[in-house]
Amino acid sequence: MDMTQTTLIEKFPGVYEINHPFVQHKLTSLRDKNTPTREFRMLVEELGILIGYEATRDLETELVEVETPLEVAQSPTLKGKKLCVVTIMRAGNGMTEGVLKLSPSARVGHIGLYRDPQTKLPIEYYVKMPPDLDQRTIICVDPMLATGHSATAAVHKIKDMGAKEIRFICLFAAPEGLALFREEHPDVPVFAGVIDSHLDENAYIRPGVGDAGDRIYGTK
């Protein structure tokens, strides 16, 4: 039985694809154009939990003493830096809810970027972060790593604001976006549900899910 659930992608060092059957099954449901908004939103949140779980496997723990009804035991608890989830609005918000299920006391930073329709480059319109980014492990969240421009810009921004230990999670990634992200941020591991085929001429991930924000929030 092959128990590997996270594959390190050879072509992109530091990029992990989560090949757990539940993750792959849920991603397939997201792809389906007939999946209704309510279910789409629920799946994105669930995938936030599952991919967030894989992306935090290496968090440090320490043993503490705990008194069970039967005896005193040494048992692990989380140690070290606290978490901050940084959501790239607006599509990141749905997945962030899932990550917060893992760590309800994590802080949340927001970064608003929109894509200029002509240049396809990100334009920043909102940033609000907790003050102590340098003291926290950051999980940066965007379901679609497409051109990589937004992801790259968001990570540059939080590094400028002091963030040192960052990991990036997404549902779908395009090879083109991963190449750019690796080049700009070789120190930031990426955990992707799946690496798709390519970007189309409108910078949509193929086969992808279409516009993730629209499908999460039922807009057009």
Interacting residues with ligand URA between 56 and 115 (CB under 6 A)? 91
Judged by CB, which is closer to ligand URA: 140, or 144? Answer: 144
Count of residues interacting with ligand URA (CB under 6 A): 9
Asked whether position 216 contacts ligand URA by CB under 6 A, the answer is no
Q: At residue 46, what is the residue type?
A: E
Minimal distance, residue 166 CB to ligand URA, in Å = 21
- Rounded Cα distance, 95 and 146, in Å: 16
Asked whether position 211 contacts ligand URA by CB under 6 A, the answer is yes
Minimal distance, residue 194 CB to ligand URA, in Å = 13
| Number of other residues whose CB lies within 10 A of the CB of residue 176 | 16
Judged by CB, which is closer to ligand URA: 192, or 212? Answer: 212
Which residues are identified as catalytic? Answer: 115, 119, 211, 214
Judged by CB, which is closer to ligand URA: 86, or 144? Answer: 144
Q: Which of 144, 155, 152, 150 is nearest to 195 (CA)?
A: 144
Angle 149-210-180 (CA atoms, 0-180°, nearest 5)? 20
Coil, strand or helix: which one is 29? helix
8 Å CB contact between 92 and 142: yes
Q: How many residues are present in the chain?
A: 220
Residue from 43, 144, 166, 169 binding ligand URA (CB under 6 A): 144
Asked whether position 213 contacts ligand URA by CB under 6 A, the answer is yes
Judged by CB, which is closer to ligand URA: 13, or 218? Answer: 218
Asked whether position 212 contacts ligand URA by CB under 6 A, the answer is yes
8 Å CB contact between 158 and 140: yes
Q: Where are the beta strands (DSSP E) in 104-207?
A: 107-115, 122-128, 136-141, 144-145, 165-173, 190-195, 198-199, 205-206
Minimal distance, residue 72 CB to ligand URA, in Å = 51
Minimal distance, residue 30 CB to ligand URA, in Å = 11
Asked whether position 205 contacts ligand URA by CB under 6 A, the answer is yes
- Rounded Cα distance, 141 and 164, in Å: 16
* Chain residues that interact with ligand URA, rule: CB under 6 A: 91, 144, 146, 204-205, 208, 211-213
